[in-house]
């Protein structure tokens, strides 16, 4: 008897990834496609999501015509203005959209302490993305009368596949008018206080439940069977947590992508936590807390600073950093990796980036600059880790070891911590495929660890010395 095949689609910030797994959990095919030219800073182009999804699923090969269900994973927080058919009226708004921070600061005082507690998050652009409604009204008055839904990335992708519009709690948790702590529903009175018509908020469906059957039109484009069930989209990091079975243990998960995210699982939310992002998990009865940095984006920016451009630039920079001698490390400058505003627990409202060196020192060797960039990104990750992990808690890293083993070793050194690695380049897509299977009543074994990296003893003294120096330099140059 032929094994059932499940498709997982992960629409990320810069690319879409797709996987197909069988009912034993084995990945039988992978696909990946960049979005294209990319939208302006702070915006997202829904048209690129669809074209990259078609390309990524196309790479799964002819066996995809035997798939029995589809699961979705998406980047968030993003708000996309939609008309009554679910078509985007403009580019989507990300948390770093120009002008959103001012709207959020102005709106926060109107909410009571009780409301802030129920929202479960600090009130910031990353957790109140629904206020981009005002930006849309201001910037697109010619189509503002056609606005019907304030959708998410998942709302858009799900509508393309099924014709249905919805949002799951893991994405709604960052809209700014959703009850993260006391339930899993919109707060209409809060929406009205924020100037948001409550009827524009999409229906909420629990993560992993059925959104609808795949339409004939979408099936034709994707090469998938029409009518197979599509699960409602969940956030990308919660989907990754599903793939590795993040649960009641003391594990934390570090996912490496355009954003680096540290995640912990919780049996119940914490209304007092004002340093971390919180959201409802895609699996019922659980919550997740996160800390995020501009990890992958900062690496690209740093590589460009060193003169490396193109798709191989970051890899070349990491390879040079991995070969650096201790003498080079000691004299390397400091790199601040905050290339855009960052989310908790750093909570920076403005970028702060660049190479910092002693004015009396000679220009640093290019190899030392490579080291400084990689180290700076990893030290920012360490700042976040220290808010989420204690003592000997296990930190699991999601990474493609064929491409990032040097980086993971550098991370173990920078964190001064043992790391276990889940060797999977498409982790969120795998988690989405797990959700598709669960929707069909099939529970697939989670991914285990494939490797262990430990800090190198000979680097410990210089690393910890530079860690303290980096924090001091950062404090001197950043206005929090």
d(CA 377, CA 427): 21
Q: Are 416 and 455 in contact (CB under 8 A)?
A: yes
Nearest to 94 by CA among 357, 378, 297, 309: 297
Nearest to 39 by CA among 85, 86, 96, 82: 96
Using CB atoms within 10 Å of the CB of residue 205, give its burial: 0 to 12 exposed, 13 to 18 middle, 19+ buried. buried
* CA distances for 11 relative to 75, 212, 364, angstroms: 6, 19, 39
**What value does the mean pLDDT take over residues 243-269?**
89
Name the one residue in this structure whose structure tokens are 């005002």: 134
Q: What is the DSSP code (8-state) at residue 76?
A: -
Q: Which residue has the higher pLDDT, 388 or 275?
A: 388
pTM above 0.75, yes or no: yes
- Residue 249 is predicted with a pLDDT of 67
- Residue 152 is predicted with a pLDDT of 98
Task: Report pLDDT digits (tens) over 169-203.
Answer: 999 999 999 999 987 799 999 999 999 999 999 99
Could you give the percent of the chain with pLDDT greater than 90? 78
CB atoms within 10 A of CB 406: 17
pLDDT score of 16 more than 90: yes
pLDDT range class, residue 357, cuts 50, 70, 90: confident
Task: Report pLDDT digits (tens) over 296-305.
Answer: 999 999 999 8
- Residue 268 is predicted with a pLDDT of 87
- Residue 385 is predicted with a pLDDT of 94
Q: Over the chain, what is the mean pLDDT?
A: 93
Task: Retrieve residue 240's tokens.
Answer: 């990754």
pLDDT score of 153 more than 60: yes
- Residue 480 is predicted with a pLDDT of 43
| Residue ranges covered by each domain of the chain | 5-237
pLDDT range class, residue 248, cuts 50, 70, 90: low
**What value does the mean pLDDT take over residues 44-63?**
97
pLDDT score of 41 more than 70: yes
pLDDT score of 471 more than 90: yes
pLDDT score of 23 more than 60: yes
pLDDT range class, residue 1, cuts 50, 70, 90: low
- CATH number given to 5-237: 3.30.420.40
- Residue 39 is predicted with a pLDDT of 79
pLDDT range class, residue 360, cuts 50, 70, 90: low
SS3 state of residue 262: strand
Contacts of 116 (CB under 8 A, 6+ apart): 123
Per DSSP, the chain holds a count of helices (H) and strands (E) of 16, 20
DSSP 290-311: EEEE-HHHHHHHHHHHTT--ST
Strand order in the sheet with 92-94: 43-44, 92-94, 78-82, 149-151
């Amino acid at each position: 008897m032929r094994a059932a095949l499940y498709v997982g689609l992960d629409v990320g910030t810069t690319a879409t990834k797709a996987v197909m797994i069988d009912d034993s959990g084995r990945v039988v095919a992978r696909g990946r496609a960049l979005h294209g030219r990319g939208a302006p800073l702070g915006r997202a182009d829904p048209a690129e999501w669809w074209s990259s999804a078609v390309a990524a699923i196309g790479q799964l090969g002819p066996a995809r015509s035997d798939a029995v269900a589809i699961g979705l994973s998406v980047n968030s927080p993003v708000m996309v203005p939609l008309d009554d058919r679910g078509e985007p009226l403009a580019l989507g708004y990300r948390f770093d959209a120009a002008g959103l921070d001012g709207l959020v600061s102005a709106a926060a005082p109107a909410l009571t302490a009780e409301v802030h507690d129920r929202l479960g998050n600090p009130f910031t652009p990353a957790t109140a993305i629904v206020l981009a409604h005002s930006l849309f009204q201001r910037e697109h008055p010619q189509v503002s009368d056609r606005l019907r839904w304030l959708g998410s990335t998942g709302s858009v992708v799900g509508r393309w596949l099924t014709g249905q519009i919805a949002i799951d709690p893991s994405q709604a948790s960052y809209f700014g008018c959703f009850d993260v702590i006391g339930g899993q529903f919109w707060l209409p009175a809060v929406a009205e206080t924020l100037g948001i018509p409550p009827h524009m908020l999409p229906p909420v469906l629990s993560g992993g439940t059925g959104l609808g059957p795949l339409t004939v039109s979408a099936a034709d484009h994707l090469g998938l069977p029409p009518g197979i069930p599509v699960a409602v989209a969940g956030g990308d990091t919660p989907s990754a947590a599903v793939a590795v079975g993040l649960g009641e243990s003391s594990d934390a998960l570090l996912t490496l992508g355009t954003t680096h995210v540290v995640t912990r699982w919780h049996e119940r939310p914490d209304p007092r936590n004002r340093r971390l992002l919180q959201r409802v998990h895609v699996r019922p009865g659980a919550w997740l807390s996160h800390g995020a940095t501009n990890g992958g984006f900062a690496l690209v920016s740093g590589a460009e600073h060193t003169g490396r451009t193109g798709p191989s630039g970051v890899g070349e920079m990491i390879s040079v950093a991995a070969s650096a001698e201790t003498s080079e490390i000691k004299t390397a400058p400091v790199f601040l990796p905050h290339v855009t505003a960052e989310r908790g627990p750093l909570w920076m409202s403005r970028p702060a980036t660049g190479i910092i060196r002693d004015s009396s020192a000679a220009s640093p060797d290019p190899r030392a600059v490579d080291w400084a960039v990689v180290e700076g990104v990893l030290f920012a990750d360490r700042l976040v880790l220290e808010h989420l992990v204690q003592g000997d808690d296990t930190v699991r890293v999601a990474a493609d070891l064929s491409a990032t083993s040097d980086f993971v070793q550098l991370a173990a050194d920078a964190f001064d911590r043992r790391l276990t690695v889940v060797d999977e380049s498409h982790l969120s897509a795998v988690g989405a495929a797990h959700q598709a299977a669960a929707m069909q009543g099939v529970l697939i074994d989670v991914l285990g660890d494939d490797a262990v990296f430990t800090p190198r003893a000979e680097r410990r003294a210089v690393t910890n010395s530079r860690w303290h120096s980096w924090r001091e330099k950062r404090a001197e140059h950043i206005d929090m």
